[in-house]
Protein backbone atom coordinates (compact mmCIF):
# COMPACT_ATOMS: atom_id res chain seq x y z
CA UNK A 1 0.00 0.00 0.00
CA UNK A 2 2.84 2.35 -0.75
CA UNK A 3 0.56 5.02 -2.23
CA UNK A 4 -1.58 5.07 0.90
CA UNK A 5 -1.11 6.33 4.42
CA UNK A 6 -2.95 4.93 7.39
CA UNK A 7 -5.53 7.26 8.88
CA UNK A 8 -6.69 7.18 12.48
CA UNK A 9 -10.43 7.38 13.12
CA UNK A 10 -9.99 10.76 14.79
CA UNK A 11 -8.41 12.05 11.56
CA UNK A 12 -11.38 10.92 9.46
CA UNK A 13 -12.83 14.16 8.09
CA UNK A 14 -15.31 12.86 5.51
CA UNK A 15 -19.02 13.61 5.53
CA UNK A 16 -20.58 10.11 5.66
CA UNK A 17 -23.81 11.21 4.00
CA UNK A 18 -21.94 12.57 1.03
CA UNK A 19 -19.30 9.85 0.96
CA UNK A 20 -21.73 6.93 0.94
CA UNK A 21 -24.91 8.46 -0.46
CA UNK A 22 -23.44 10.55 -3.26
CA UNK A 23 -19.97 9.26 -3.98
CA UNK A 24 -20.89 5.57 -3.44
CA UNK A 25 -18.53 2.78 -2.44
CA UNK A 26 -17.48 -0.72 -3.35
CA UNK A 27 -17.96 -3.55 -0.88
CA UNK A 28 -15.41 -6.30 -1.57
CA UNK A 29 -14.48 -9.62 -0.06
CA UNK A 30 -12.58 -12.75 -0.97
CA UNK A 31 -13.88 -16.31 -1.18
CA UNK A 32 -11.75 -19.31 -2.14
CA UNK A 33 -9.10 -17.02 -3.61
CA UNK A 34 -11.56 -15.07 -5.77
CA UNK A 35 -12.70 -11.51 -5.20
CA UNK A 36 -16.07 -9.95 -5.89
CA UNK A 37 -17.38 -6.45 -5.47
CA UNK A 38 -20.60 -4.53 -5.60
CA UNK A 39 -21.40 -0.86 -5.65
CA UNK A 40 -23.33 0.40 -2.63
CA UNK A 41 -24.81 3.74 -1.70
CA UNK A 42 -26.60 2.74 1.50
CA UNK A 43 -24.85 2.26 4.82
CA UNK A 44 -23.18 4.20 7.56
CA UNK A 45 -20.29 4.80 9.90
CA UNK A 46 -20.94 4.75 13.62
CA UNK A 47 -20.28 3.25 17.00
CA UNK A 48 -21.60 -0.06 18.33
CA UNK A 49 -20.56 -2.28 21.22
CA UNK A 50 -17.92 0.38 21.99
CA UNK A 51 -16.30 -0.18 18.59
CA UNK A 52 -15.99 2.06 15.58
CA UNK A 53 -18.08 0.31 12.98
CA UNK A 54 -19.62 0.45 9.53
CA UNK A 55 -23.10 -0.72 8.63
CA UNK A 56 -23.69 -2.04 5.15
CA UNK A 57 -26.78 -3.53 3.52
CA UNK A 58 -26.55 -6.32 0.98
CA UNK A 59 -29.53 -7.91 -0.74
CA UNK A 60 -29.83 -11.69 -0.65
CA UNK A 61 -29.57 -11.94 -4.43
CA UNK A 62 -26.10 -10.37 -4.67
CA UNK A 63 -23.17 -12.57 -5.63
CA UNK A 64 -20.97 -10.41 -3.39
CA UNK A 65 -23.04 -11.56 -0.40
CA UNK A 66 -21.57 -15.05 -0.78
CA UNK A 67 -18.11 -13.51 -0.53
CA UNK A 68 -18.90 -11.34 2.48
CA UNK A 69 -20.52 -14.34 4.17
CA UNK A 70 -17.47 -16.52 3.52
CA UNK A 71 -14.86 -14.01 4.70
CA UNK A 72 -13.94 -12.75 8.16
CA UNK A 73 -13.41 -9.25 6.79
CA UNK A 74 -14.46 -7.03 3.91
CA UNK A 75 -13.44 -3.65 2.59
CA UNK A 76 -15.18 -0.47 1.62
CA UNK A 77 -13.40 1.50 -1.07
CA UNK A 78 -14.16 5.02 -2.19
CA UNK A 79 -13.07 6.71 -5.43
CA UNK A 80 -12.73 10.04 -7.10
CA UNK A 81 -16.21 9.92 -8.58
CA UNK A 82 -15.51 12.37 -11.36
CA UNK A 83 -13.22 9.73 -12.81
CA UNK A 84 -14.84 6.50 -11.64
CA UNK A 85 -18.62 7.08 -11.75
CA UNK A 86 -19.02 5.05 -14.92
CA UNK A 87 -17.08 2.09 -13.52
CA UNK A 88 -19.03 2.27 -10.27
CA UNK A 89 -22.29 2.23 -12.21
CA UNK A 90 -21.04 -0.71 -14.25
CA UNK A 91 -20.07 -2.77 -11.17
CA UNK A 92 -23.41 -1.81 -9.64
CA UNK A 93 -25.46 -3.15 -12.53
CA UNK A 94 -23.53 -6.22 -13.68
CA UNK A 95 -23.10 -9.33 -11.58
CA UNK A 96 -19.76 -11.00 -10.96
CA UNK A 97 -21.53 -14.34 -11.44
CA UNK A 98 -20.90 -14.09 -15.17
CA UNK A 99 -17.33 -12.78 -15.32
CA UNK A 100 -14.76 -10.86 -13.34
CA UNK A 101 -16.24 -7.38 -13.38
CA UNK A 102 -13.15 -5.74 -11.95
CA UNK A 103 -10.88 -7.14 -14.63
CA UNK A 104 -13.30 -6.00 -17.31
CA UNK A 105 -13.50 -2.53 -15.78
CA UNK A 106 -9.71 -2.29 -15.62
CA UNK A 107 -9.33 -1.68 -11.90
CA UNK A 108 -6.57 -3.35 -9.94
CA UNK A 109 -7.34 -5.70 -7.07
CA UNK A 110 -4.74 -5.76 -4.29
CA UNK A 111 -4.92 -7.15 -0.79
CA UNK A 112 -3.95 -5.91 2.63
CA UNK A 113 -3.97 -8.46 5.47
CA UNK A 114 -5.86 -10.79 3.12
CA UNK A 115 -8.63 -8.26 2.43
CA UNK A 116 -9.13 -7.03 -1.14
CA UNK A 117 -9.15 -3.36 -2.12
CA UNK A 118 -8.47 -1.38 -5.28
CA UNK A 119 -5.23 0.37 -6.07
CA UNK A 120 -7.16 3.20 -7.77
CA UNK A 121 -9.22 3.99 -4.64
CA UNK A 122 -8.81 7.24 -2.73
CA UNK A 123 -9.95 5.76 0.58
CA UNK A 124 -9.97 2.18 1.89
CA UNK A 125 -11.75 1.02 5.03
CA UNK A 126 -10.92 -2.49 6.24
CA UNK A 127 -13.69 -4.02 8.32
CA UNK A 128 -13.88 -7.11 10.51
CA UNK A 129 -17.29 -8.74 10.37
CA UNK A 130 -19.03 -8.58 13.74
CA UNK A 131 -22.65 -9.43 12.98
CA UNK A 132 -25.27 -9.98 10.32
CA UNK A 133 -28.98 -9.19 10.60
CA UNK A 134 -31.85 -10.07 8.32
CA UNK A 135 -34.23 -7.23 7.48
CA UNK A 136 -37.81 -8.47 7.33
CA UNK A 137 -41.43 -7.32 7.22
CA UNK A 138 -41.89 -7.36 11.00
CA UNK A 139 -39.26 -4.69 11.46
CA UNK A 140 -40.64 -2.02 9.15
CA UNK A 141 -42.54 0.77 10.88
CA UNK A 142 -42.90 3.14 7.94
CA UNK A 143 -45.49 1.35 5.79
CA UNK A 144 -44.03 2.72 2.58
CA UNK A 145 -40.70 0.91 3.00
CA UNK A 146 -41.74 -2.61 2.12
CA UNK A 147 -43.79 -1.89 -1.04
CA UNK A 148 -41.23 0.60 -2.25
CA UNK A 149 -38.06 -1.39 -1.68
CA UNK A 150 -38.98 -5.04 -1.17
CA UNK A 151 -41.85 -5.79 -3.57
CA UNK A 152 -39.76 -8.72 -4.85
CA UNK A 153 -38.93 -9.92 -1.29
CA UNK A 154 -35.21 -9.50 -1.98
CA UNK A 155 -34.51 -8.26 1.54
CA UNK A 156 -31.22 -6.76 2.66
CA UNK A 157 -29.01 -8.22 5.29
CA UNK A 158 -27.25 -5.69 7.47
CA UNK A 159 -23.62 -6.37 8.30
CA UNK A 160 -21.89 -4.58 11.13
CA UNK A 161 -18.15 -4.51 10.68
CA UNK A 162 -15.54 -3.16 13.04
CA UNK A 163 -13.33 -0.55 11.40
CA UNK A 164 -9.90 -2.14 11.67
CA UNK A 165 -7.82 0.12 9.44
CA UNK A 166 -8.37 3.15 7.24
CA UNK A 167 -6.02 4.07 4.40
CA UNK A 168 -6.08 7.28 2.41
CA UNK A 169 -4.28 7.87 -0.90
CA UNK A 170 -1.36 10.22 -0.55
CA UNK A 171 -1.38 13.16 -2.93
CA UNK A 172 -0.47 11.87 -6.37
C1 LIG B 1 -25.47 3.51 -6.95
C2 LIG B 1 -25.76 2.09 -6.58
C3 LIG B 1 -25.95 1.75 -5.25
C4 LIG B 1 -26.21 0.43 -4.87
N5 LIG B 1 -26.34 0.13 -3.54
C6 LIG B 1 -26.53 -1.17 -3.16
C7 LIG B 1 -26.56 -1.51 -1.78
O8 LIG B 1 -26.39 -0.67 -0.87
N9 LIG B 1 -26.81 -2.82 -1.47
C10 LIG B 1 -27.00 -3.79 -2.42
O11 LIG B 1 -27.21 -4.95 -2.10
N12 LIG B 1 -26.91 -3.48 -3.75
C13 LIG B 1 -26.67 -2.21 -4.13
N14 LIG B 1 -26.57 -1.89 -5.46
C15 LIG B 1 -26.73 -2.95 -6.49
C16 LIG B 1 -25.49 -3.82 -6.69
O17 LIG B 1 -24.31 -3.07 -6.77
C18 LIG B 1 -25.69 -4.62 -8.00
O19 LIG B 1 -26.83 -5.42 -7.93
C20 LIG B 1 -24.49 -5.44 -8.40
O21 LIG B 1 -24.61 -5.74 -9.78
C22 LIG B 1 -24.36 -6.74 -7.61
O23 LIG B 1 -23.26 -7.43 -8.11
P24 LIG B 1 -22.91 -8.93 -7.66
O25 LIG B 1 -24.09 -9.79 -8.03
O26 LIG B 1 -21.66 -9.24 -8.43
O27 LIG B 1 -22.70 -8.88 -6.18
C28 LIG B 1 -26.30 -0.57 -5.86
C29 LIG B 1 -26.11 -0.24 -7.21
C30 LIG B 1 -25.83 1.07 -7.58
C31 LIG B 1 -25.60 1.41 -9.03
Domain boundaries defined on the chain: 4-169
- pLDDT for 172 equals 63
Q: What is the distance in A from the centroid of ligand 1 to the CA of 7? A: 27
pTM equals 0.98
Mean pLDDT value of segment 138-142: 97
Measured from the CB, is residue 28 less than 6 Å from ligand 1?
Answer: no
* CB 44 less than 6 A from any atom of ligand 1: no
- With beta carbons less than 8 A apart as the criterion, state whether 54 and 163 touch: yes
CA dihedral 102, 13, 2, 107 (to 10 degrees): 10
φ/ψ bin of 78: left (φ > 0), alpha (ψ from -120 to 50), beta (otherwise): beta
3-state SS assignment for residue 118: strand
Contact 59, 154 (CB under 8 A): yes
Per-residue pLDDT tens digits for 77-118: 999 999 999 999 999 999 999 888 999 999 999 999 999 999
Q: How far is the CA of 102 from the centre of ligand 1 (A)?
A: 14
Which residues, other chains included, contact 46 with Cβ-Cβ below 8 Å and sequence gap of 6+?
Answer: 52, 53, 54, 55
Fold of 4-169: Pnp Oxidase; Chain A (2.30.110)
CA of 14 to the centre of ligand 1 (A): 22
**Other beta carbons less than 10 A from residue 42's beta carbon:** 15
Q: What is the mean pLDDT of residues 2-24?
A: 96
Q: Please answer whether residues 20 and 42 qualify as being in contact, where contact means their C-beta atoms are separated by less than 8 angstroms.
A: yes
Residue 56 CA: which ligand 1 atom is closest?
Answer: 8
Kindly give the distance from the C-alpha atom of residue 80 to the centroid of ligand 1, in angstroms, as a whole number: 18
Amino acid sequence: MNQFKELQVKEFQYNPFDLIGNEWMFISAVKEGKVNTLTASWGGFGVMWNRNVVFVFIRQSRFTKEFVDAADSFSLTFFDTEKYREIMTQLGTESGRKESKMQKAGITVEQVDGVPYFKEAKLVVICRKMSRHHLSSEGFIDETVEPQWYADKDYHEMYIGEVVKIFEKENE
